[in-house]
């Protein structure tokens, strides 16, 4: 169950319709029985790769026939779907199905792996992220990322948050930017008296919220989260999930998770990845189903999805 | 377990433990013996030097110039100054070049390209090349040859620098590699360029390791004799080198060698004093390296 903690003041403003709808979604109980939300609440969408965009939401990413290969061997193939603005999109699926590979193409982090190559297109607000004239550094300024293991820099809490604005040369009062980011990261009250202390002295959950605050400091449009809570205890996990709800009125969030309950609790949309073995015996990931989270968890179109979300497989 | 099995089992346990116990004693004992042998040799050497050299040590010994006639008025000023200058110039050379090379090889070089692999293998090999070969290189390319620097501090320092550069690069690479990849990714994901990531995250994290490597490299350079002989350091310098690029220079190892070769017993005693000075310098440098490592090493 999601932890009920106090929300900071920032979340008290009235919400846009779509985020209110997302926040009101009842915390899905046990996905193991998979039917808690009642069948047929979402519009029926035929099968695989249907971009089921809600009418009130614009796509922030339009992914078209995306194939990512390492050293020529595809890790994830022919992925096509749209990721919507100001919503939380969960990527679920068994290990090795290319979720992390996929999420890392959205801010060109795969560029750091020399053997990685990308085919197909990823459009970000209509602009091809892999066009030759696109600077990956500029991409990452707009699209932040939080990793599986908290990775604070071996610096003070303050310097961790200030790092992004500093390297980007952002104008403004640094103390204010740091405070704002820490408040949005729901960490300010815990750390305001020890901003100069080394971030390595924080608990794992605090470190991860620091990493989120650090990503927020550069005021990104999207935050990608690669299993952000997999190394954390349930209380810290609950805090991070609360935080995601609070953030989604300003940023779009894409989250990779192995935790089915978490995907059901936090996300508006869910993409289910699976491992496919091709004719040559090589394994790669594909997207089986992409739809409203309720639909994926209660009335999935594909039987592989159903097997996975009900816990029969994986 | 049945009752009948118990004594058998006990016997087996007891038998095994007796053999193991003997081995438990013999093995560490033989290790101790090896250490004792090494330490004993060192202690005898140090005692021998200290007995001979301590009476020589005095302020006059440090501040006088060497004399070939009067051992009692002879000192090591020019050699000491020469050695310190060599170390400073050598450090100025190896710190940027060694660090930059290490950064290139770790962060920029594509390890799949044959030329980068060639560079790597060559650096490993160069670390094992005898120092006299570097001396000949220095003589041919720095003292004479294309650069024609002459027998000056700069030529000596660059020769020593080339000699220890492979060590600096290898240790520097280790230190850079010890910075976890998650730090690189975290920095790049915030929109930092590779250069910003290296300058603000990787280098600060690797700095204690790099600094330790540099100090250890200098500790090796400070005792090198052969390359300096070949490069042409002076055995009895009657003055300090005032200019790095024009004056002849001496160095402690050269001075020691010159005195040891002297037929007069009094001069040979001076060598022991100079050795003590060199040892003390070395001790301080190594202590500095250990301090740096313990104080600033980053635990990830």
CB contact under 8 A, A137 and B186: no
pLDDT at residue A48, rounded to an integer: 41
Phi, psi for A49 (deg, rounded to 5): 60, 25
Among the partner residues B182, B193, B200, nearest to A137 by beta-carbon distance? B193
CA quadruple B47, B49, B55, B61: dihedral sign: negative
> Does the distance separating the beta carbons of A151 and B180 come in below 8 Å?
yes
Which three-class secondary structure state does DSSP give residue A158?
Answer: helix
Q: How far is CA B205 from CA A16, A99, A151, B216, in A?
A: 44, 31, 14, 19
Q: What is the pLDDT of residue B5?
A: 55
Does some domain include residue A236? yes
Mutate to test the interface with A, among B186, B192, B205, B206 (most CBs of A within 10 A): B186
**DSSP-derived 3-state class of residue A30:** coil
Same domain (yes/no): B267, B177: yes
Beta carbons of A114 and B112 less than 8 Å apart: yes
Residues B128 and B192 in one domain: yes
For residue A222, being part of any structural domain is answered with: yes
Residues across chain A: 314
Cβ within 8 Å, pair A151-B190: no
The answer to whether the CB of A68 falls within 8 A of the CB of A74 is yes
The tokens describing A255, both together, are 């989250």
Number of domains in chain A: 1
- Burial of residue A208 (CB within 10 Å: 0-12, 13-18, 19+) is buried
Tell if the CB–CB gap between A144 and B201 is shorter than 8 Å. no
Query: Going by C-beta distance under 8 Å and a sequence separation of 6 or more, which residues neighbour residue A242?
Result: A2, A3, A5, A7, A186
CA A114 to CA A150: how far, in whole Å?
A: 24
Domain count, chain B: 2
Which residue, of B31, B53, B75, is where some domain finishes? B53
- Looking at the fold, whether B17 and B120 belong to one and the same domain comes out as no
Cα radius of gyration (chain A): 19
Q: pLDDT value at position A57?
A: 63
How does strand A116-124 pair with strand A59-70?
A: antiparallel
Nearest to A220 by CA among A146, A134, A309, A114: A146
CB spacing of A147 vs B186 below 8 angstroms: yes
Using DSSP, state whether A137 is helix, strand or coil: helix
What is d(CA B283, CA A91) in angstroms, rounded to the nearest whole number?
58
- The CA angle B74-B79-B81, to the nearest 5 degrees, is 120
Nearest CA distance, B172 vs chain A (angstrom): 19
B214 to chain A nearest CA, in Å? 23
Domain residue limits at A159: 17-24+32-309
Q: For the beta carbon of residue B238, count every other beta carbon within 10 angstroms.
A: 13
Residues of A in contact with B201 (CB under 8 A): 153
Can you give the CATH number for the domain in which A97 is found?
A: 3.40.50.300
Residue B204 shares a structural domain with residue B280: yes
Distance, in angstroms, between B215 CA and closest chain A CA?
24
Q: Would A206 be classed as within a structural domain?
A: yes
Task: Sort out which chain B residues have CB atoms less than 8 A from A152's CB and list them.
Answer: 186
User: What is the residue-level pLDDT of chain B in tens, covering all 300 positions?
Assistant: 445 555 555 555 555 577 788 888 999 999 999 999 999 999 999 999 999 889 989 898 998 898 878 888 888 999 999 999 999 999 999 999 999 999 999 999 888 889 999 999 999 999 999 999 999 999 999 998 888 888 899 999 999 999 999 999 999 999 999 999 999 999 999 999 999 999 999 999 999 999 999 999 999 999 999 999 999 888 888 888 888 888 889 999 999 999 999 888 888 889 999 999 999 999 999 999 899 888 888 877
A-chain CB neighbours of B299 within 8 Å are 200
Question: Which H/E stretch holds residue A260?
Answer: helix A260-266
* Per-residue model confidence (pLDDT) at position B243: 84
Contact present, A190 and A206 (Cβ < 8 Å): yes
Distance from CA of B107 to the nearest CA of A (A): 11
List average pLDDT for each run of 10 residues in chain A, which is 314 residues long: 42 40 41 38 40 60 92 90 92 90 93 89 92 92 93 95 94 93 92 94 93 94 93 89 91 93 92 90 90 92 89 71
Nearest to A163 among B185, B190, B299 (CB): B190
Q: In angstroms, rounded to a whole number, what is the distance separating the alpha carbons of residues A187 and A213?
A: 8
Quote the pLDDT of residue B15.
55
Q: 3-state DSSP call for residue A60?
A: strand
Interface touch B180/A215, C-beta < 8 Å: no
Of A112, A151, A168, the CB nearest to B191: A168
In a domain, A2, yes or no: no
Q: Do A107 and B196 touch (CB under 8 A)?
A: no
Residue A30 has a pLDDT of 40
State which of B35, B53, B71 marks the end of a domain. B53
Chain A residues within an 8 Å CB radius of B186: 147, 151-153, 211, 214
To test the contact with chain B by mutation, choose from A103, A151, A160, A217 the residue with the greatest count of B C-beta atoms within 10 A, namely A151
Q: Are A298 and A35 in contact (CB under 8 A)?
A: yes
Q: Which structure tokens are listed for B37?
A: 């042998």
Domain check: are B170 and B45 in the same one?
no
Query: Are B125 and B192 in contact, with CB atoms under 8 Å apart?
Result: no
- Give pLDDT, residue B157: 94
Distance CA A117, CA A100 (A): 15
Query: Is the separation of the CB atoms in B98 and B169 below 8 Å?
Result: yes
> CB neighbours of A227 closer than 8 A, spacing ≥ 6?
A100, A148, A256, A257, A258
**Stated length of chain B:** 300
Q: Which residue of A lies nearest to B185 if distances are taken between CA atoms?
A: A109
CB nearest to A153's CB, from B110, B183, B299: B183
C-alpha dihedral, B243 to B246 to B252 to B255, nearest 10°: -130
> Can you tell me which residue has the tokens 């932890």?
A3
Distance from the A214 Cα atom to the nearest Cα atom in chain B, whole angstroms = 8
Q: Which of B111, B190, B297 to probe by mutation at the A interface, max A CB count within 10 Å?
A: B190
Could you tell me if residue A8 is inside a domain?
A: no
pLDDT reported for residue A196: 95
**pLDDT score of A58:** 78
Shortest Cα–Cα distance, A215 to chain B (Å) = 6
**Could you tell me which of B199, B231, B27, B249 has the C-alpha nearest to residue B99?**
B199
Q: Which residues of B touch A163 (CB under 8 A)?
A: 187, 190, 192, 200
DSSP letter, residue B247: S
- CA dihedral angle for residue A147, residue A152, residue A154, residue A159, rounded to 10 degrees: 130
DSSP B104: I
Which residues on chain A are in Cβ contact (under 8 Å) with B107? none
In this structure, the answer to whether residues B79 and B9 fall within a common structural domain is no
- Chain A residues with CB under 8 Å of B182 CB are 147, 149, 151
| CB-CB neighbors (< 8 A) of B193 in chain A | 137, 167
Dump pLDDT digits (tens) for B273-290: 999 999 999 999 999 989
| Phi, psi dihedral angles at A269 (to 5 degrees) | -125, 150
Q: Which helix (H) or strand (E) holds A82?
A: strand A73-84
**Beta-bridge partner residues of A63:** A81, A122
pLDDT value, residue A207: 94
Give the CATH number, domain containing residue B110. Answer: 1.10.3720.10
Element (DSSP H or E) covering residue A224: strand A222-226
Are B98 and B205 part of one and the same domain?
yes
Helices A174-184 & A157-167, crossing angle to 10 degrees?
110
Question: Cα–Cα distance between B204 and B88 in angstroms, integer?
Answer: 23
What is the C-alpha to C-alpha distance for residues A130 and A194, in angstroms, rounded to an integer? 41
Mutate one of B183, B184, B189, B297 to test the A interface: name it (highest A CB count within 10 A).
Answer: B189
Q: Spell out a b/e string for B97-109, using b for 16 or more CB atoms within 10 Å of the CB, else e.
A: ebbebbbebbeeb
Locate B25 and state its tokens. 């004693």
Indicate whether B139 and B206 sit together in one domain.
yes
Task: Give me the domain span that covers residue B276.
Answer: 59-296
B3 plus B111 within the same structural domain: no
Pairwise CB contact (< 8 Å): A140 & B191: yes
Q: In what order do the strands lie in the sheet with A59-70?
A: A127-128, A116-124, A59-70, A73-84, A283-292, A269-277, A88-92, A252-256, A222-226, A143-146
Q: What is the 3-state secondary structure (H, E, C) of B118-178?
A: HHHHHHHHHCCCCHHHHHHHHHHHHHCCCCCCCCCHHHHHHHHHHHHHHHHHHHHHHHHHC
What's the confidence (pLDDT) of residue B14?
Answer: 56
Q: B-side interface with A, Cβ within 8 Å? A: 110, 112, 180, 182-193, 196, 200-201, 204-205, 298-300
């Amino acid at each position: 169950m999601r932890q009920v903690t106090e929300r900071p003041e920032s979340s008290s403003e009235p919400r846009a319709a779509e985020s209110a709808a997302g926040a009101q979604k009842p915390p899905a109980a046990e996905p193991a029985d998979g039917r808690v939300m009642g069948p047929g609440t979402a519009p029926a969408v035929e099968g695989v790769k249907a971009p089921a965009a809600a009418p009130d939401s614009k796509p922030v990413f339009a992914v078209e026939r995306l194939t990512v290969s390492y050293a020529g061997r595809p890790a994830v193939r022919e992925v096509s779907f749209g990721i919507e603005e100001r919503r939380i999109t969960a990527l679920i699926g068994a290990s090795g199905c290319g979720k992390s590979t996929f999420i890392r193409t959205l801010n060109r982090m795969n560029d750091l792996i020399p053997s990685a190559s990308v085919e197909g297109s990823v459009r970000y607000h209509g602009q091809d992220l892999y066009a030759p004239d696109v600077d990956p550094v500029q991409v990452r300024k707009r699209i932040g990322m939080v990793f599986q293991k908290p990775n604070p820099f071996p610096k003070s809490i303050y310097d961790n948050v200030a790092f992004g604005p500093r390297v980007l040369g952002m104008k403004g009062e640094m103390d204010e930017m740091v405070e704002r980011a820490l408040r949005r990261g729901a960490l300010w009250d815990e750390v305001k008296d020890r901003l100069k202390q080394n971030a390595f002295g924080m608990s794992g959950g605090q470190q991860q919220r620091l990493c989120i605050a650090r990503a927020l400091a550069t005021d990104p449009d999207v935050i990608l989260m690669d299993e952000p809570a997999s190394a954390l205890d349930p209380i810290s996990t609950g805090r991070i999930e609360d935080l995601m709800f609070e953030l989604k009125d300003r940023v779009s969030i894409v989250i990779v998770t192995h935790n089915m309950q978490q995907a059901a609790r936090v996300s508006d949309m869910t993409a289910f990845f699976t491992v496919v073995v091709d004719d040559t015996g090589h394994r790669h990931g594909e997207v089986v189903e992409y739809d409203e989270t309720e639909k994926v968890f209660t009335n999935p179109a594909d039987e592989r999805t159903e097997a996975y979300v009900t816990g029969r497989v994986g | 377990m049945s009752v009948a099995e118990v004594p058998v089992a006990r016997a087996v346990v007891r038998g095994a433990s007796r053999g193991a116990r003997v081995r438990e004693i013999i093995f560490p004992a033989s290790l101790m013996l090896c250490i004792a042998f090494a330490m004993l040799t060192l202690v005898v050497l140090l005692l021998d030097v200290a007995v001979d050299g301590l009476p020589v040590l005095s302020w006059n010994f440090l501040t006088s110039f060497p004399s070939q006639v009067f051992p009692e008025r002879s000192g090591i000023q020019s050699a000491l100054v020469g050695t310190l200058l060599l170390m400073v110039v050598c450090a100025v050379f190896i710190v940027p070049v060694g660090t930059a090379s290490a950064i290139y090889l770790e962060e920029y070089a594509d390890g799949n390209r044959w030329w980068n692999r060639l560079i790597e293998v060559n650096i490993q090999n160069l670390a094992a090349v005898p120092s006299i070969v570097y001396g000949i290189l220095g003589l041919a390319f720095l003292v004479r040859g294309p650069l024609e620097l002459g027998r000056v501090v700069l030529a000596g320092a660059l020769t020593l620098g080339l000699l220890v550069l492979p060590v600096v690069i290898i240790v520097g690479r280790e230190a850079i590699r010890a910075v976890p990849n998650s730090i690189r990714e975290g920095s790049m994901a915030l929109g930092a360029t590779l250069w910003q990531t290296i300058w603000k995250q990787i280098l600060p994290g690797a700095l204690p390791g790099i600094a330790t490597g540099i100090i250890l490299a200098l500790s090796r350079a400070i005792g090198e004799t052969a390359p300096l002989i070949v490069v042409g350091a002076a055995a009895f310098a009657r003055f300090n080198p005032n200019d790095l690029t024009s004056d002849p220079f001496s160095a402690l190892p050269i001075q020691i060698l010159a005195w040891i070769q002297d037929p007069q017993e009094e001069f040979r005693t001076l060598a022991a004093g100079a050795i003590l000075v060199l040892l003390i310098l070395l001790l301080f440098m190594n202590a500095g390296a250990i301090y740096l490592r313990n104080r600033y090493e980053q635990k990830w």
